[in-house]
Chains A and B, each alone.
Chain A
Amino acid sequence: AQSVSQHNHHVILSEAASLELGCNYSYGGTVNLFWYVQYPGQHLQLLLKYFSGDPLVKGIKGFEAEFIKSKFSFNLRKPSVQWSDTAEYFCAVIIGGDTGRRALTFGSGTRLQVQP
């Protein structure tokens, strides 16, 4: 079955450190890719998305992700994290051509803790 893997379950960083969270998916066809963030007590919010075009995607709050098709990866990066980035991060995929009616498949999530 298709799946999404996030290998980092819990990451602890100091402020100003660089961040990279891994995301891999297991599907050989067309995919649409997303990163969502869930701050404590809040709903899921979109950080960035990739549908086509430039594989390097810029998102909100200084986040970016790179789609590497040959590696089935869509890793999330930020050059300098802040304490306010403490949250749960989810990678998600729509598998197959998007009709607007497909659900997202989520990875297990990565809890990021940024220490001041």
Chain B
Amino acid sequence: GAVVSQHPSRVICKSGTSVKIECRSLDFQATTMFWYRQFPKQSLMLMATSNEGSKATYEQGVEKDKFLINHASLTLSTLTVTSAHPEDSSFYICSARLQGARNTEAFFGQGTRLTVV
């Protein structure tokens, strides 16, 4: 099956710094990628939809200036958590679907555990 690679898998940063998370589709092109956030023992909450070559679409309540998304190519989307604070500590997961294909599942990265100290 298709592979989505996410990096880093774990990151610890100081409060006030920025952290970039990369999401790559390794063997397929993804016009659209999705960023989710998962709190402990809770579900995955969609943060934003990343569209190649255009602005991301953010879900209600997600600060676009804090969570910067760049989808510069058909195989790479990045999420930058700017001026991170301890409440941003969470598990971030990216997902991608096959370009132009309907009725297909989503493929997921292994997730990034962010800890802000």
Contact = CB atoms under 8 A, between A and B. Distances in A.
Partners in one complex: yes
B103 A32 contact: yes
Given A42-B110, A51-B103, A98-B103, A103 B43 contact: no
Given A42-B110, A43-B111, A44-B108, A104 B95 contact: yes
A100 B110 contact: no
A41 B105 CA distance: 21
B97 A105 contact: no
A44 B108 CA distance: 6
Interface string A99-116: 111011111110100000
Contacts of B93: 43-44
Contact of A109 (B36, B43, B105, B111): B43
A18 B1 CA distance: 29
A109 B95 CA distance: 17
A74 interface: no
Contacts of B102: 98-100
Contacts of A111: 41
Given A43-B108, A100-B32, A101-B49, 14 more contacts: A34-B105, A42-B110, A43-B109, A43-B110, A45-B108, A99-B102, A100-B100, A101-B32, A103-B34, A103-B46, A104-B106, A106-B45, A107-B43, A108-B43
Closest 9 pairs between A and B when the two form their complex, measured CB to CB: A44-B108, A43-B110, A108-B43, A51-B103, A106-B44, A101-B32, A106-B43, A103-B34, A100-B102
Interface of A: 32, 34, 36, 42-46, 49, 51-52, 90, 98-101, 103-109, 111
7 contacts: A32-B103, A36-B108, A100-B102, A101-B31, A104-B34, A108-B43, A109-B42
Interface of B: 1, 4, 31-32, 34, 36, 41-46, 49, 51, 93, 95, 97-106, 108-111
